[in-house]
Amino acid sequence: MRTLAIHRLLRALPLLAALPLLAALLQPARVQAQAPTTQALGEAVDQLAQFQSEAARMQALARQSIGPYYLRLSFSYCEIDFGIFGCAKHGTGRCERQVVLGGMQQLDMALEHARNDGVRLEQSFAPTRDWIAGLPGFSANFGSTADIVLAVQQQTRQGQVPTQQQRDQVNAALAKLQDDLARSASQLEAGVSTLAAALQRQSEFREQIRQAIDISTRSAQDDLNRAERDMSTTRCRDGLPEQLSVIRVDFGAKANQLQASFANLGAASGGAERSLGVLLGAVVNSRTEMQNVINLVQAARNDQIGSFLEQLHLASAKKQWEDLAAAQGRAMVAMGSVATAGN
């Protein structure tokens, strides 16, 4: 019997050794997501304002015309010629020629698509812009409601047990905070979904315009060189090098502005998507924490409420929304100034 028991124990040793691992696997995973700092949230609001600014700049550039370009040249000739005695009277002739730059039609079509999509982009950004505009009001409401809970929390720190009336006030205040956070999250979720589709369209337009600019830039140089060769063989060529130089500089500057603007918009688009994710994650996490504490408070005795309220870090949350409201002021100034310039 003793030998049989030893054999059974030996067979069970692998299972016994594995028990700690099994226990660890069967336990619920505890993932501590690091909450974004107030500075990170403020920078996210600034990034969204930067995106709107770059979109407005791009629209303003897309509305500018490139060309048409003309060569308006002159030449001298003799009106009265006395042969060996020379010219008695000189005259000046003028000619005009349009310089047709290849690739401009493709560029114009791409810019037209971008201009037409500008209205849809503005509409797609509306939920996010409205959320940013509403931050001061949200912060004020959040702060006044949070003060109700913080007052009771301060009493519990001093050893006072909340009354039933105070308990009811805390429950009502927490429910209001939860509803406010839910509405805020819903508004940001709408901003994420509508802006994502708009950014996808914009990325397609940026690639079209990049290709169109590359093609038109190469074609423009060839066409300008051809025009210079053709006009140099005619008598109507006074001022030709200077005017061609003006065209080259103007076209190059506008093409470079477009390239830079769409590159900046691409970078700002990525920043806008990340910023929306940061802000939405922060609001959703706050809402989840709020609901967890609400459940605990509702099930707790009056003398336990204080310990559960501490888990909310409500004073820090209040300060965070106040800082976001301050960031909103900077963002609205930036968005408003660029929108005015764009119009």
Residues 142-156, mean pLDDT to the nearest whole number:
90
Q: Output the CA angle 152-186-305, nearest 5 degrees.
A: 20
Distance between CA atoms of residues 48 and 35, nearest Å: 20
Residues 314-320, mean pLDDT to the nearest whole number:
87
3-state helix, strand, coil in the chain (%, to 5): 80, 10, 10
Q: What is the mean pLDDT of the chain?
A: 77
| Per-residue pLDDT at 157 exceeds 60 | yes
Which pLDDT score is estimated for 16?
Answer: 30
Please say whether the beta carbons of 330 and 50 come within 8 A.
Answer: no
Does 41 or 331 have the greater pLDDT score?
Answer: 41
Which pLDDT score is estimated for 27?
Answer: 32
| Per-residue pLDDT at 226 exceeds 70 | yes
pLDDT tier at 140, thresholds 50, 70, 90: very high
Q: Output the CA angle 320-323-327, nearest 5 degrees.
A: 135
235-252 tens-digit pLDDT: 888 888 899 899 988 888
Residues 103-128, mean pLDDT to the nearest whole number:
76
Which pLDDT score is estimated for 148?
Answer: 92
Q: For 238, phi and psi rounded to 5 degrees?
A: -65, 125
pLDDT > 70 in the chain, percent? 84
| Per-residue pLDDT at 28 exceeds 80 | no
Q: Can you list the domains of the chain with their CATH numbers? A: 35-68+102-342 (1.20.1170.10)
Residue in the structure block whose two tokens are 């709408």: 190
| Per-residue pLDDT at 199 exceeds 60 | yes
| Per-residue pLDDT at 33 exceeds 70 | no
pLDDT tier at 213, thresholds 50, 70, 90: confident
Which pLDDT score is estimated for 300?
Answer: 77
Q: Say what the pTM is.
A: 0.64
Does 122 or 182 have the greater pLDDT score?
Answer: 182
pLDDT tier at 143, thresholds 50, 70, 90: very high
Q: In terms of Cα–Cα distance, which of 156, 178, 179 is closest to 167?
A: 156
Does 38 or 178 have the greater pLDDT score?
Answer: 178
Distance between CA atoms of residues 266 and 216, nearest Å: 21
Which pLDDT score is estimated for 340?
Answer: 45
Residues 6+ apart with CB under 8 A from 76: 90, 91, 92, 93, 238
- Choose from 33-37, 103-107, 135-139, 196-200 the range with maximum mean pLDDT: 135-139
